[in-house]
Amino acid sequence: MNCFKDVMATTKTDRSFFRKTRGNAIVKLVREQYLRHDIPCLAESCTVCPCSSLGDQGLLSKESDHYIIPDMSVVMRYLEILEQEEMTGIILSQTIVTSLQQHDKSRTYRKLRHIINDSRRKSVIFYNEVFADTQTPRLPGEPAGERDWRALRKLADWYYHHLGQKKRIILLSEIHPQQESNDVCVYSMQAYLNAYWPTVSLLQNLVHALANVELEDDMERIRMTSSKKRGNTGTAVQGFTEYKSTEELEVGIKSSRFFSGTLRCRSDARDQAYVNSAGKDILIVGNQNRNRAVHGDTVVVELLSENNWATASNEISYEGGSTEEDIEGSQWVVQQTEKSRPTGRVVGILNRNWRSYVATLQEDSPDGSFHLAVPLDSVIPKIRIRHQEAKLIQNQRIVVRIDHWPVSSQYPQGHYVRSLGPIHHLDTEISAILVEHGISVSQATQGFSEASLKEMPIDTPEMPWRPEQDEIKRRKDLRSLTVFSIDPPNCQDIDDALSIRELKNGNIELGVHIADVSYFVKEHSLTDLEARARGTTVYLADRRFDMLPSVLSERVCSLRENVDRYSVSVLWTLDKSYKVLDVWFGRTIIRSSCEMEYEQAQKMLDGESTPAGVDPALSRKLKPFVEKLAQVLRTMRNQRLAKGALELESSEVKFKITKDNEITDIIPKDSMEIHGLVAEAMIMANSYVGKRAYQGYKDAALLRRHPPPSATQFDRLIKAAKSQGFSIDFSSNRSLARSLEIITRGCQNNPEITRMLKTMATMAMNEAGYVSSGQFAVSDYYHYGLALEYYTHFTSPIRRYADVVAHRQLLMCVGDSVAVNDANVRGTVMTQDSKIAEICMNLNLKSRESKLAQRDSTELFQSLYVLQHTMTGPLIESGIISEIRSNGFYVFLPRFGLKGPVFLIEKDGSPIVPLSLVSNKAKEEDYIPNSHIEVSLPTNVSVTSADLPHPINFQLFDHVRVSLKLRKSHAHRHMVYMTLVGLEHTTKLGSSQVDAVTTAQLSRDTMMRSIAEQEEAKAQANAYKDRSKEELETRKQMRKAAKNNGSSIYQLLEPFRKMSIIESTTSQ
Ligand SMILES: [Zn+2]
């Protein structure tokens, strides 16, 4: 706290308190304490204290007519309500902070701290225990709880009088009697919400739900006080045991008898989880060994004896993400093999990492008030919740929270928070994605507070925004320079533009011009804080959720054509061989002459002088610029590749949605040359700005680093490459690049294999992340993928907050007068290592979640596509075997960027290899009889049968034809899976395989006669037949649904159609 820095006047006093030791003994501590007389109240309306100089500190809003002071009983029970965005004006007392520390409630403390640190919440922490006017010494024999309450009352009185009796102070308590008054009053949480938030149903629902929950903390307290008679927590569910005491856990960890780490449950094998402790995975098998730990919790595990070690399952889950079946009862069959891994059992929890979960009530939930909610995320167990009218939420996606998981309960206990809408409606499913990935309510509703919008420049049709004369004078005027932007079609938020020109001396000037967001978004403004919290614009398959208000992102900042725009430019001077001689950074004003689309620019490069959509005269003028630019950037790119930069692949796709609201196609993201060239210009700007910011702020530059991968991450890639006769050398990025290049050349006839291997390499990489340079050694700044010493994000400030920070840092470095003045007048945290590190942590989290949200929305649209395109008949596509598992394989469809499972073995163990592989007359549900399947992981599956003259081999990267299917689900998204239709013989590699397949083809007719008839009866009776009937029924229903209300689903797409073709920002 800043207020401790300048001690003006202090008074010495003694303070004694009691603390519980680890062994639960109570000791009395006496501490010398210096009382202070000058702690600021942190209220905006105060004229006495020096509060305004406290930088980015949130202050109690002068607009509010009351502030609230919660006591311990409210903090423990209603923390979740205090966390809601609506709740502002909270005064957190030192009394509570101390109490939390004494009770080892560091997690609760961190959550409260999080509220205080968010300046939008207008909440403060007040050190009342060390403040002369509010300190409250304990009276002889006075219980701690009573003294604490007196301290809070004293604090409330002080605030009331200090603020001139103008603000009502409300003490919140569940245990002290209510007291109405116009100055200081006491309310329960329910009474407070009734008085101030009577119509906010979310808060009202929550307060009801939370009033009834049994808190895990209560349970702990009960155990603490009666540790000898544990019976009072109920009979333990079989296999569950009480957690060991904190002391036992600590001793165990120190002596390496126990291990701690984060529990990660597998979504594809639901009775398996891992705990990674010190780089080693410990397998946790079965619900009982997981012992009430939930995915994401920090747990302590005890190793099981070696005869309990097991191999991790390699099966494709038959349920995928769409199971509603119980895993609780399932038994793990221990397979003892050489490759057995250490297994363990959870004996304690260090930290619960519970969040809000999207869930659906289990189908046919019985009447009564308790129900099971099935979380959308299949790694989360079912949650028992209380709801009086289950019918109201029966077919809805709902948000639930877990409260605790007693040893006597099969399921964790939680409460209902709110409903997101009916299941399988597009808007509901999109909301579900946003909640699952922690995207804030304000961003999800595309909203900005009124106060934040007041900070925005005015730009209306009547009063269009125009640059100011004084500001123009201050900037480098580049309006006469030919500048243009290259983006996907219909791009609204244009971050970047380019320019190139020949100088009189024959040198070349290359320019990258970026929207000047930091000019409009001042540090500490509400818009700034909101953008910092959001971190990034979230792009989903059909819509986006902006980081900044649209007046900036689409208009005033966006570098539109034929209007004057402020920008921050990087101008390089290059000699004739494109060597960089000099670089200039600074604020400029530009006037873009053209918003070009990628395709148009590419056509110019391909020789077309007037591509469609560009004015012919303009096009003829721009063509030489585009060509010169390409020439320069190709050189830059090649230089970087020579240094070891990797050309990696992603399987990102975009959706084509027609005027009639139908998804007509899913197509891979464009990869024309021009994409790479524009990206190269951005990479260049980012790396030069990163270096410049580092030179200016050695200890606090926001950089983006990409750590090199480790050997184990490459295991799968190495084996896959080996199966195709290639080796991978990953000792450095340069050698890895060379390996990939050899593969590219070797697979010219089969580019898909190159693509698969490159995708695998991409997946094996570490994630790149933002860091503050003060936290790492210089050698750790290196960007492995791009082969650059320094890198940052500078080129997309409209959609990424990291870039806003980079702009501020750069501009302060180069002494831009406005930036320097802003920093001096308003105070800046942009030069503080710890603050930048904190911002980076949030940005890393936000960008990861935003990518996951994008992936989920892609899957949602892929399943919508399959739904639409299987209504009238089968949907057959070609794909590549991308991963072999013990019961089938995954097939990747490059055209759709989609990976789905193909099963060769049924759940009951019977082989289901389609007869259609050897006979084109076979029906879909006919299987090769008497077949035997041999899997050699990770590259080969061989199918033999007495009825087959030769085995059928499936190898990694084989091309196959599959039929896409949709497995319908109630509690989850519909899952796309595939059935095998045929092999694509033409692309087979390897002579032995060609032989096998050819022979199979030759013998097809003779074999057919013998087996098809013989097996027909069997096939009729096959269980799969029933499933397939069920599917037909499902399909019929879906067709019906589409006729009745389906159109409304697609109607929903209409407003987003324009944005349907989404270019995600370059992920470097
Ligand atoms: Zn004051």
When pLDDT is cut at 50, 70 and 90, the band that residue 17 belongs to is low
- The model's pLDDT over 515-531, given as tens digits with 9 standing for 90+, comes to 999 999 999 888 999 99
With a pLDDT cut of 70, the percent of the chain lying above it is: 83
- The model's pLDDT over 206-236, given as tens digits with 9 standing for 90+, comes to 898 888 777 765 555 444 444 444 444 467 7
Scored b (16 or more CB within 10 A) or e, 1030-1063 reads eeeeebeebeeeeeeebeebbeebeebeebbbbb
Read off φ and ψ for residue 600, nearest 5 degrees: -65, -45
Q: CA–CA separation, 914 vs 925, rounded Å?
A: 7
Where is 654: in which H helix or E strand? strand 653-657
CA of 163 to the centre of ligand 1 (A): 7
- Find residue 986's DSSP bridge partners: none
CA of 34 to the centre of ligand 1 (A): 20
CA of 387 to the centre of ligand 1 (A): 45
CA of 835 to the centre of ligand 1 (A): 26
Cα distances (angstroms) measured from residue 223 to each of 72, 217, 253, 284, 954: 20, 10, 22, 26, 57
546 pLDDT above the threshold of 60: yes
Would the CA dihedral through 353, 356, 357, 360 be positive or negative?
Answer: positive
CA of 8 to the centre of ligand 1 (A): 16
CA of 900 to the centre of ligand 1 (A): 62
When pLDDT is cut at 50, 70 and 90, the band that residue 1 belongs to is very low
Can you tell me the mean pLDDT for 326-339? Answer: 35
Question: Count of residues for the chain?
Answer: 1068
CA of 47 to the centre of ligand 1 (A): 6
Query: CB neighbours (10 Å) of residue 140?
Result: 4
Structure confidence at residue 5 (pLDDT)? 38
Structure confidence at residue 22 (pLDDT)? 53
991 pLDDT above the threshold of 60: no
Can you tell me the mean pLDDT for 729-743? Answer: 89
CA of 44 to the centre of ligand 1 (A): 8
CA of 76 to the centre of ligand 1 (A): 29
When pLDDT is cut at 50, 70 and 90, the band that residue 6 belongs to is very low
Question: Which residue did the predictor score with more confidence, 799 or 712?
Answer: 799
CA of 197 to the centre of ligand 1 (A): 27
Are residues 286 and 331 in contact, defined by beta-carbon separation less than 8 angstroms?
A: yes
CA of 152 to the centre of ligand 1 (A): 17
CA of 48 to the centre of ligand 1 (A): 5
- Find residue 668's DSSP bridge partners: 653
Q: Which two tokens stand for residue 187?
A: 């309310």
197 pLDDT above the threshold of 90: yes
CA of 33 to the centre of ligand 1 (A): 23
CA of 45 to the centre of ligand 1 (A): 8
Structure confidence at residue 1017 (pLDDT)? 33
CA of 43 to the centre of ligand 1 (A): 6
CA of 525 to the centre of ligand 1 (A): 22
Question: Which residue did the predictor score with more confidence, 266 or 311?
Answer: 266
- The model's pLDDT over 18-72, given as tens digits with 9 standing for 90+, comes to 555 555 555 555 555 568 888 889 998 888 887 655 556 678 998 999 999 999 9
Query: CB under 8 Å to 664, separation ≥6 — which residues?
Result: 656, 657, 658
Closest alpha carbon to 496 in 629, 360, 383: 629
CA of 833 to the centre of ligand 1 (A): 30
Structure confidence at residue 603 (pLDDT)? 95
Structure confidence at residue 651 (pLDDT)? 64
Q: How far is CA 507 from the centre of its chain?
A: 45
Can you tell me the mean pLDDT for 75-89? Answer: 92
Cα distances (angstroms) measured from residue 87 to each of 42, 72, 80, 203, 934: 17, 17, 10, 10, 61
CA of 5 to the centre of ligand 1 (A): 17
Query: CB under 8 Å to 476, separation ≥6 — which residues?
Result: 569, 586, 587, 588, 589
CA of 125 to the centre of ligand 1 (A): 13
Structure confidence at residue 367 (pLDDT)? 76
CA of 1032 to the centre of ligand 1 (A): 72
CA of 154 to the centre of ligand 1 (A): 16
Are residues 401 and 384 in contact, defined by beta-carbon separation less than 8 angstroms?
A: no
Closest alpha carbon to 684 in 506, 510, 495, 516: 510
Cα distances (angstroms) measured from residue 13 to each of 33, 130, 945: 5, 10, 89
CA of 90 to the centre of ligand 1 (A): 15
CA of 293 to the centre of ligand 1 (A): 46
CA of 1024 to the centre of ligand 1 (A): 75
CA of 94 to the centre of ligand 1 (A): 17
Alpha-helical regions (H) of 236-373: 246-254, 286-290
Q: CA–CA separation, 374 vs 328, rounded Å?
A: 13
CA of 532 to the centre of ligand 1 (A): 28
Q: Which two tokens stand for residue 513?
A: 């011009």
Q: CA–CA separation, 906 vs 381, rounded Å?
A: 25
Read off φ and ψ for residue 844, nearest 5 degrees: -60, -45
Are residues 487 and 552 in contact, defined by beta-carbon separation less than 8 angstroms?
A: no
Question: Which residue did the predictor score with more confidence, 669 or 210?
Answer: 210
CA of 162 to the centre of ligand 1 (A): 6
Structure confidence at residue 104 (pLDDT)? 74
CA of 123 to the centre of ligand 1 (A): 14
When pLDDT is cut at 50, 70 and 90, the band that residue 305 belongs to is confident
CA of 60 to the centre of ligand 1 (A): 10
CA of 42 to the centre of ligand 1 (A): 6
When pLDDT is cut at 50, 70 and 90, the band that residue 871 belongs to is confident
Where is 145: in which H helix or E strand? helix 144-162
**Residues within 5 Å of ion ligand 1 by Cβ?**
41, 46, 48-49
CA of 51 to the centre of ligand 1 (A): 7
CA of 164 to the centre of ligand 1 (A): 10
CA of 158 to the centre of ligand 1 (A): 10
Closest alpha carbon to 91 in 70, 105, 119: 70
CA of 129 to the centre of ligand 1 (A): 17
- The model's pLDDT over 828-848, given as tens digits with 9 standing for 90+, comes to 999 999 999 999 999 999 999
Computed on alpha carbons and rounded to an integer, the radius of gyration of the chain in Å comes to 32
CA of 196 to the centre of ligand 1 (A): 25
CA of 41 to the centre of ligand 1 (A): 4
Where is 803: in which H helix or E strand? helix 801-813
End-to-end Cα spacing for the chain: 37
CA of 272 to the centre of ligand 1 (A): 56
When pLDDT is cut at 50, 70 and 90, the band that residue 995 belongs to is very low
Read off φ and ψ for residue 624, nearest 5 degrees: -60, -35
CA of 391 to the centre of ligand 1 (A): 52
Structure confidence at residue 106 (pLDDT)? 78
CA of 57 to the centre of ligand 1 (A): 14
CA of 178 to the centre of ligand 1 (A): 27
Average per-residue pLDDT in the chain? 83
CA of 46 to the centre of ligand 1 (A): 5
Cα distances (angstroms) measured from residue 883 to each of 685, 717, 887: 38, 11, 11
Give helix 817-826 / helix 801-813 axis angle, nearest 10°: 110
Read off φ and ψ for residue 445, nearest 5 degrees: -95, 10
573 pLDDT above the threshold of 90: yes
Query: CB neighbours (10 Å) of residue 390?
Result: 19
CA of 4 to the centre of ligand 1 (A): 16
Q: CA–CA separation, 376 vs 398, rounded Å?
A: 10
883 pLDDT above the threshold of 60: yes
723 pLDDT above the threshold of 70: yes
CA of 157 to the centre of ligand 1 (A): 13
Dihedral class, residue 987 (left if φ above 0, else alpha if ψ from -120 to 50, else beta): alpha
CA of 148 to the centre of ligand 1 (A): 23
Structure confidence at residue 536 (pLDDT)? 97
Structure confidence at residue 487 (pLDDT)? 94
CA of 79 to the centre of ligand 1 (A): 27
Q: State the residue for tokens 């020439």.
A: 631
Alpha-helical regions (H) of 437-596: 441-444, 450-454, 469-474, 517-520, 526-534, 550
CA of 159 to the centre of ligand 1 (A): 8
CA of 124 to the centre of ligand 1 (A): 12
CA of 38 to the centre of ligand 1 (A): 9
* Of 209-218, 662-671, 960-969, highest mean pLDDT: 960-969
CA of 114 to the centre of ligand 1 (A): 23
CA of 40 to the centre of ligand 1 (A): 5
761 pLDDT above the threshold of 60: yes
Question: Which residue did the predictor score with more confidence, 261 or 216?
Answer: 261
CA of 182 to the centre of ligand 1 (A): 20
